[in-house]
Amino acid sequence: MSNRQYPVQGAGLGLRRALMGSLWSQSPENIDFMEVAPENWIGVGGRLGHQFRAYTERYPFVCHGLSLSIGSPAPLDFELLSRVKTFLDQHQVRYYTEHLSYCSDHGHLYDLMPIPFTESAVHYVSGRIRQVQDFLGRRIAVENVSYYAAPQQEMSEIDFINAVIAEADCDLLLDVNNIYVNSINHRYNAEEFLAQLPGERVVYAHIAGHYEEAEDLRVDTHGADVIDPVWHLLDMAYQQFGVVPTLLERDFNMPPVPVLLEEVTRIRQSQQSALQTGERGKIANV
């Protein structure tokens, strides 16, 4: 697994407009790659568009979509996909990912809604993912999402995710924080869940902070520091799948850039520690 070719390498950061001025003065070596939602940047011109272009020329980029609504009962938005395809090519984006959820039904719902964990939903969503991949002419990855209710559930979350990825023949964006959040909210073992995911399909990972609403309820906000149990789960992911590229998501309550970059540095330290542990293990087995 360590010999896999990933679209990016190392430790990344989600680029937000509020960060663009202060991040530019930082050393490029502090960040290995960046991620944006294409919907937030398609068609943006002028000074902001030039700034964004400078970033895409400075760093490798991946895109994480917000509004494709892969599980929606509404038809796929091929007008959006056409604009996304142009954007990916224009900025030489390394990979495109989306949420394994839906956010529209003939109109946007402004939230990520859970797809029912059913056999019919597996076939429906897998077919739509294949359509998207065919239209874009590239593989995509879907992200395991946080959810707070499981309507019409016929199968487990892990079985649903694995079935969709296998039938669609797509890849996985591994969101470590979402596993932790869901493990609290739906009372399962996060490490056991992680171990059942298809590591050979992981293209990169997300890590983020969340909000503790109650002892048995976590809300995925991307608005706080990453907590120790989530860092531990990331270490488990590296042990399980090898050192996958990993990106810090932070959308709200932004700390000063140097503080934000400390968490990116911690990702890199975790990756280096996992590599060293792996090398020691190889030596011990010789």
Among residues 217, 211, 205, the alpha carbon closest in space to that of 249 is found at 205
265 lies in some domain: yes
**Given this model, what pLDDT does residue 286 score?**
39
Domains of the chain: total: 1
Among residues 110, 112, 184, 121, the alpha carbon closest in space to that of 144 is found at 112
Plot region of 215 (φ>0 → left; ψ -120 to 50 → alpha; else → beta): alpha
Question: Which of 78-82, 199-203, 248-252 shows the lowest mean pLDDT across its residues?
Answer: 248-252
Report d(CA 136, CA 250) in Å as an integer: 28
H-helix or E-strand spanning residue 25 = none
6 lies in some domain: no
Report d(CA 247, CA 34) in Å as an integer: 8
4 lies in some domain: no
Residue 111 has pLDDT above 90, yes or no: no
**Given this model, what pLDDT does residue 72 score?**
84
Amino acid type, 18: A
202 lies in some domain: yes
Mean pLDDT score across all residues of the chain: 89
Query: pLDDT tens for residues 214-246?
Result: 676 677 776 678 999 999 999 999 999 999 999
Residue 212 has pLDDT above 80, yes or no: no
174 lies in some domain: yes
Whether 100 contacts 70, CB under 8 Å = yes
Query: pLDDT tens for residues 141-157?
Result: 999 988 877 667 899 99
5 lies in some domain: no
**Given this model, what pLDDT does residue 209 score?**
81
Whether 197 contacts 172, CB under 8 Å = yes
Whether 100 contacts 115, CB under 8 Å = yes
Average pLDDT value for residue range 39-45: 94
Q: How confident is the model at residue 112 (pLDDT cuts 50, 70, 90)?
A: low
Query: pLDDT tens for residues 243-285?
Result: 999 999 998 888 899 999 999 999 999 999 999 987 665 555 5
Question: In sequence order, what are the residues at sequence separation of 6 or more whose Cβ sits closer than 8 angstroms to the Cβ of residue 156?
Answer: 117
Look up the domain containing 123 and give its range. Answer: 11-285
Q: How confident is the model at residue 113 (pLDDT cuts 50, 70, 90)?
A: low
Percentage above 90 pLDDT, the chain: 71
255 lies in some domain: yes
CATH number of the domain to which 86 belongs: 3.20.20.150
C-alpha distances (whole Å) from 98 to each of 1, 79, 173, 217, 247 are: 24, 16, 8, 25, 15
Query: pLDDT tens for residues 93-109?
Result: 999 999 997 664 444 44
Whether 238 contacts 202, CB under 8 Å = no
Whether 70 contacts 57, CB under 8 Å = no
251 lies in some domain: yes
